[in-house]
Structure 1
Amino acid sequence: MNWKKVGMTLGLSLTLVAAGCGGGGDSQEEASGTTPSSSESSSSSSTSEEASTTEQTSTNVAEELDYTITGIDPGAGVMASTQTAIEEYGLEDFEIQSSSGAAMTKALETAIENEEPIVVTAWQPHWKFTKFDIKYLEDPKGVFGEDETIHTMVRKGLEEDMPNAYTLLDQFNWTLDDMGEVMLAVEEGTPVEEAARTWVDENEELVSEWKEGVEEVDGKDIELLYVTWVSEVASTNVVKTVLEDVGFNVTLTSLQPQFMFSGLAEGEGDGLVAAWLPVTHGQYIDQFGDEIVDLGGNLEGASIGLAVPSYMDIDSIEDLMPAE
């Protein structure tokens, strides 16, 4: 299982490492000391100054950012989309700094504490949008696509081998708010297993829908694959908890995205609830999709893009372009 050893090593090492005209005739113009001609001159001057300010701001933003976009795992789809954004928006002077999800959020937190500029690769759901005052940059070219859906996928043959696990995984679905509750609890210091257990206990009605038609088993082994994004850690642990409640012995294996999909395709894992489509993990579905069973979406409204702290006076990816 060399793919798994390599994937786990990369996953662990990377884990450790966002804008009065007075209508009263001549008397009002005279009283205010303005005339149509002087107003036009003032307007022209103002426009010129605004353009100069915009140019200077654009230049300064790029320089203050040191032409750097702080990213995450190099295999993540948002990283590939960010590279496309660099090309589409003429940001060739920018460099994407690869790291991990944890390292990226730490860099974001440090920048915000010092009210410094930073632009990061971002995705929803993620607790950083709750904890920090950040915003997505508008993407007028649509490079990052529309909102995504997180899918559940299993290996071929699981329905025959483990019909109860297949049914539960097929019926698993929740919302951004549901996931956010678990993620926030973990961020505030609750161990993920405890956070998952608490959420499952407090949401019996929804969980019962996942278990409809599922019979209890006696210690059947099952392995779930996932990427170490806080969102997927939350969802995978919640599913693990419910599977254990019906008698499965669940093993969780953390891998880089490419190994997660190749492993599932090769039968080295049984399932995953962490496939972001159509953009983030689309390249891996193109590569391995014929060997994987897609059970459909388990969460809607996921999104990716570039984000900055709200105190930064920019609103669009276009605002990152240095002025010529």
Structure 2
Amino acid sequence: MKKWILILLAALLTAGLAACGSDKTNGKAKTVGDSVDYKIIGIDPGAGLMKASAKALKDYGLDDWTLVEGSSAAMTAALKKAYDRKEPIIVTGWTPHWMFSKFDLKYLDDPKGSFGKDETIHTLARNGLKDDLPDAYKILDQFHWTPDDMGVVMNRIEDGDNPEDAAAKWVKKNGDKVAQWTKGANKVSGDKITIGYVAWDSEIASTNVIGKVLTDMGYKVTLRQVEAGPMWTGVADGSLDASVAAWLPSTHADYYKKYKGKFQDLGENLAGTKLGLVVPKYMDIHSIEDLKK
């Protein structure tokens, strides 16, 4: 009896292994597209990153592929789920972002330049802010930090801190940098200021940090989360006083052109950003062109 059980188990194991080694292509290795159902996991439908990703699909002739709309949180949740299981996945990504410190990831090469050159993040101010709130204007104009600085705050938030606490901890530990931002600015007593931002992890970090600095300087600060379009519209029409979340020259190029003259560009507050399609390093692909194979 035992002999027959062993023979049966061996037969079942052999069949199982055969099934694992084959697929609907009758033994042929799956393409990258097959392995991810020809889907790229994206973020908010109005984001410039999504526009660039759609352009990449067109530029590379990826007609069978779908760019899945969602949110930054949904994208990172899908990435974590696939990564934990060592499954293939392709997402829209940007740097700085905490996911690059949590997961071993890589950008796919973009030989056609669909995603453009690396960008910088700029500070915007409404027209008239310099006259109305000169000390806040000075602080915003002098605000500048690095991707590593931003990464510390983003990682704290990802590890469970709320954004206000993560920002406060960074500000407390980096008094020298904060002193550079506030140099020449006077403290005030309850002057109101509203800062707009988009719900990217990077912008949540930067906006909460500058919000904490302004609060410590005596301002009554309101941080308002909006989509990219309303953020630019708000600065242009004066319903927002400022934003430290403008990605230029490509991501927000349309808004910059649309509202030119109706806001002040105070220049970059962070350099070293990047946009593109991102995969785990365990995937054996290196370029967007590999998606056609």
Flag whether TM exceeds 0.5 (same fold). yes
1:311 aligns with 2:282: yes
User: Which of 115, 131, 138 in structure 1 is aligned with 2:109?
Assistant: 138
Q: 2:231 aligns with which of 234, 253, 260?
A: 260
Matches within 5 A, 1:22-171: 60-171=31-142
Letter in 2 for 1:168: I
Task: State the Cα distance separating 1:290 from its structure 2 match.
Answer: 2.1
- What is the aligned length? 266
1:189-204 paired onto structure 2 within 5 Å? 189-204=160-175
Is 1:224–2:195 an aligned residue pair?
A: yes
Runs of 4+ in 1 over 2 A off after TM superposition: none
Superposed CA RMSD: 0.9
Q: Distance in 1 between matches of 2:62 and 2:87?
A: 20
Which of 250, 267, 276 is residue 296 of structure 1 equivalent to?
267
Give the whole-Å Cα distance in 2 for the aligned partners of 1:275 and 1:83.
20
Which stretches in structure 2 are left out of the alignment for 5+ residues? Answer: 1-27
For 2:166 and 2:58, the matched residues in 1 are separated by 41
Partner of 1:188: 159
2:186 match: 215
Q: Aligned equivalents of 1:95 and 1:133: distance in 2? A: 24
CA distance in 1: counterparts of 2:144 and 2:218, whole angstroms? 20
TM-score normalised by L of structure 1: 0.81
Bigger radius of gyration: 1
Question: What SS is found at the alignment partner of 2:62?
Answer: coil
CA distance in 1, matches of 2:99, 2:108: 15
Distance 1:226 1:92 in 2: 34
State how far apart, in whole Å, the 2-side matches of 1:245 and 1:113 are. Answer: 41
Secondary structure at the counterpart of residue 252 of structure 1: strand
1:20-42 deviation line (CA, Å, top 9, x unaligned) = xxxxxxxxxxxxxxxxxxxxxxx
- Cα deviation 1:263-293 (Å, max 9, x = unaligned): 1111110000000111111111111122111
Q: Which residue of 1 aligns with 2:256?
A: 285
Determine the C-alpha separation between the residues in 1 that align with 2:260 and 2:75.
30
Alignment-derived partner of residue 14 in structure 1:
none
SS at 2:31 equivalent: helix
Query: Matched residues in 1 for 2:260 and 2:212: separation?
Result: 27
1:296 positional shift:
0.1
Following the alignment from structure 2 to structure 1, what is the Cα–Cα distance between the partners of residues 249 and 225? 22
1:20 counterpart residue number: none
2:214 matched residue in structure 1: 243
Identity of aligned residues (%): 51
2:150 paired residue number: 179
Shift of 1:117: 1.0
Which consecutive residues of structure 1, in runs of 5 or more, have no partner in the other structure? 1-55
Q: Give SS of 1:294's match.
A: strand
Q: Which residue of 1 aligns with 2:3?
A: none
TM-score when normalising by structure 2? 0.89
Q: Secondary structure at the match of 1:290?
A: coil
